[in-house]
A and B are shown apart, each in its own frame.
Chain A
Amino acid sequence: MTPTLFGRWQTRIFLLATIGLLVTWGFASGIFGTERGNVYYWVLLYYAVIGLAWDILYNYLQKFMWDHDWPGAFQLLAGIAEGILLAILAAVGVLPNVSDHFDLLMFTIHYASIWVAVYLASWVVMRLLFPRWRFRGGEWVGKWRRTS
């Protein structure tokens, strides 16, 4: 992938608000055999919001690569880093509505499920839904620049 910062943000928001929400609903409603509860929605929200800051970092690091690209392998490493940070923040009690009943195992399963679903969707669904997505560094809304 060769994203722009706006592309990262737009893609993150879109995928978490669709696929991410769907997966989370599966957990929160108990159909995956989990204990019902709103905590999953909160995890998703923090994942999205803190992620926007992570994206700024990735966008900076990407410039060190000659090709200014972001290989799938980096996405995986980034996903692990984000998960660890979320878990730490939850465990130390700074995430309201999550920290009170934090369960590391459930968190890991939930987070990993979202990550895998979003990762696969970013390679497949985004391309099929928005052919312009890959030409615009991940931006699926907005106009092309007008001037010549």
Chain B
Amino acid sequence: MQLQLTWDDPVTEEPQQRVSPLPIAFGRELEQLPREIDGQQVHQIVLLDTNSEVSRYHALIFEVAGEVILEDRSTNGTTLNEERLIRGRRPLTTGDTIRIGTYNITIALMQTEDVGTTRLTGGGSTSTVVFSPQTNILPADEILDETPAPSASSSNTIINFNPETDNLESQPVISTPTAPPQPSRRVFPPADVFAAERVSINALHATGYPVEEIDYTAIGGGMGSFVWVDTIRICGVKPDQIRVLTLRPGRPYERYEALLRNCQIPRYKRIRSGSDSCPDNVWGWPGYALREAWRETFSGRIPSAISHLWEVFSEPAFADTYTPIADNVFNSMDREAARIGWDRMVRYGSVRAIRKTEDGRYVIAYSATKPPAAGSAQPPAASDYRFLVAKYIHLSTGYPAIKLLNDLQDYRQSTGDTRKVVHGYEPHDHVYEYLEKNGGTIVIRGFGIVGSQIMDRVYKARMANAKISVIHLSRSPKAGNKFGVAKRYVENHWEFQPFNWPKGTWGGDMRSMLEAADPLRRRELLEAWGGTTTASRGSWRQTVKQGLKEGWYTLKFGQVDKVELNEQGKPVTYVKSRGYQGIEKIEADFVVDCTGLVSDPRENPLLKDLIEHHNLDLNPQMRFHVENDFEIKKMRNDKGRMYAAGVITLGGPYAPVDTFLGLQYAAHRSAEALAGARAPKIGHLEGIGSIWQWLKWAANMSP
């Protein structure tokens, strides 16, 4: 008998699965776990915990007379399904969930014959450690050897951003015969020149491609690049010293807005960030709430103005947290972009590789060939490859790719169907159009903010057609994370938190705790604070309650075995759940993945090349290891420096990296570090100088 164990990574929410022979011991410390019991080899699972709820040797699962038994050996107990077990024994069956600390582990019993190729990880070594969270910062080459690299099978991610157009693409439906041939990525940059550890400037010129030079370069041109450029502009750098390379030269929020639209948040809706997370204003004052209240006061909507001010005064204790309307954020960014001369700094460029140069700078190889607009009959433009040599680089390329849950990915690959099983971040308006017309059932996977937006959209669709029902499917019920004396609030299995991390992680004591911690402690903290949550909004919580009461919204728990297309052409989800004999089948018209999974940086060709060529360090979440000031230390080249921001740095010294305010924090830290390193024209922003700059902002004058 073997056991299949499934849980979610508490930080990224990615499902983890291991198969192991019995007996299995769980605990906080590997050294405390037994290696042998009655002559039988024991397998170990190490679980982290910051709340001292997991004992050093916490529990054991073993087999007697064909029965699988869970034995708790801990101080604080183990929860089996809903029952709390302290120092007792219970038999286990498939579909049971055991909770130890913050880990919810779903069990499936497997006869040894079923196991097939799924073997223990660890590269066939003799290790009996089934799972032990990685807490070290390791150079890429050591990691690639050890764990199955995600890039080893390119099927891992099937929703990519096109490297020329930035459009989301689903793998199985690419190359239609009429599509123009993709420009070959081989010829540029020239492999021989870029194979060197440090590239010589002469060698660059010898290639015949144009070479330009600049002091500062922002790669990405999205939200993270915008706030960084804004910060260094305000700290004194001039537009002609800065170049921004991006696939979206139109607006800095273009990709972000596209993703918002896909997950059913049009411009007039409220997004999930704070009043003082202002990408257009480094000071965070006046915040969006004050600005909105101001406008409302002058258009006679006094009660609404007062309610927004009340929100920022008393949130989250006595009122729902204020969040700004997307349109207001975008308009404010347009104004700021014009003020700092954004258009003068931005160029279209698909960045392909970055190398150190012999003279203490970096060379960025990019393609400036604009892809023809979608649907246009124009032939593709002639290739325009270029080099940009820069001394300081800021890397903020956003999500490397978007990841579907494994079973949904398998479904798409085996059926080729990308219409009925969709990711919440993909364009999928057809789902609601169909449902409004014909009614039907939609399965939602995941409880995050995307899930809540989609619930909202379905609620609207139900106004047009009441024959729509929602099945919300999750592996295990939510218990609510704990940290110290505080606990996160849960209602109807939705876990609430104003933003995607606890507020104290942006600038408060949690920020300083994380920064001070060693890698192990960092991972523990991130696990305690992480997890998918949604923002508490009164009207929306009402929708959930109403749906449950009226029966069109149901919650189901269980582990998905597979998703298949049935004869009626509908996706059927097979769920191993407790209380059902065998397997429950859920037939639906659509399945929407709202887990919001984002893939590993190594899925993106530019980042993969950067990591592998320079053997960069990766943090325990397999993202870029950055210093507290967001520098990628291994890229340091004499005076040259490179910084990163955004989701590619998740798992390091700062938790909310993928948020407006987090991006501003990263920009602030790197700008201070650059000022400390005497980079050209950049100064510290504080005191009277800061007030002066704010006055310029208020008067809409160039910094």
Contacts and interface: CB of A to CB of B under 8 A. Distances in A.
30 contacts: A2-B504, A2-B507, A3-B508, A63-B484, A63-B486, A67-B503, A68-B504, A68-B510, A69-B316, A69-B508, A71-B318, A72-B312, A72-B314, A73-B317, A127-B283, A127-B284, A128-B285, A128-B690, A129-B686, A129-B691, A130-B686, A131-B283, A131-B668, A131-B690, A132-B668, A132-B672, A136-B512, A144-B628, A145-B516, A148-B628
Given A64-B485, A71-B316, A131 B686 contact: yes
A129 B687 contact: yes
A59 B508 CA distance: 11
B487 interface: yes
A42 to B, nearest CB: 30
A68 B686 contact: no
Contacts of A127: 283-285
Interface of A: 1-5, 7, 59, 62-69, 71-74, 123-124, 127-132, 134-137, 144-148
Contact of A128 (B487, B628, B691): B691
Given A2-B506, A135-B511, A135-B665, A72 B313 contact: yes
Contacts of B665: 135
A123 to B, nearest CB: 7
Interface string B481-498: 001111111000000011
Interface in B244-277: 276
Nearest to A71: B317
B585 interface: no
A38 B276 CA distance: 39
B362 to A, nearest CB: 21
A21 B600 CA distance: 54
Given A69-B504, A128-B283, A129-B687, A146 B276 contact: no
A128 B690 CA distance: 6
A123 B285 contact: yes
B515 interface: yes
A65 B321 CA distance: 14
B587 interface: no
Interface string B275-312: 01000001111000000000000000000000000001
Contacts of A72: 312-314
B486 A66 contact: yes
A68 B485 CA distance: 11
B508 A137 contact: yes
A62 B486 CA distance: 10
A129 B515 contact: no
Contacts of B625: 148
A145 B515 contact: yes
Nearest to A61: B485
B509 interface: yes
A79 B507 CA distance: 23
B608 to A, nearest CB: 23
Nearest to A136: B507
Given A2-B503, A2-B504, A145-B515, A66 B686 contact: no
A145 B654 CA distance: 13
Contact of B507 (A63, A64, A134): A134
Nearest to B481: A66
A1 B497 CA distance: 16
A133 to B, nearest CB: 8
A65 B665 CA distance: 23
Please provide the 10 A-B residue pairs with the shortest distance between their CB atoms, ordered closest to farther: A2-B508, A68-B504, A67-B503, A73-B314, A72-B313, A148-B627, A69-B503, A135-B507, A66-B486, A137-B508
B561 to A, nearest CB: 35
Nearest to B290: A123
A128 B694 contact: yes
B653 interface: yes
B314 to A, nearest CB: 4
Nearest to B498: A67
A69 B501 CA distance: 12
A129 B283 CA distance: 9
A91 to B, nearest CB: 31
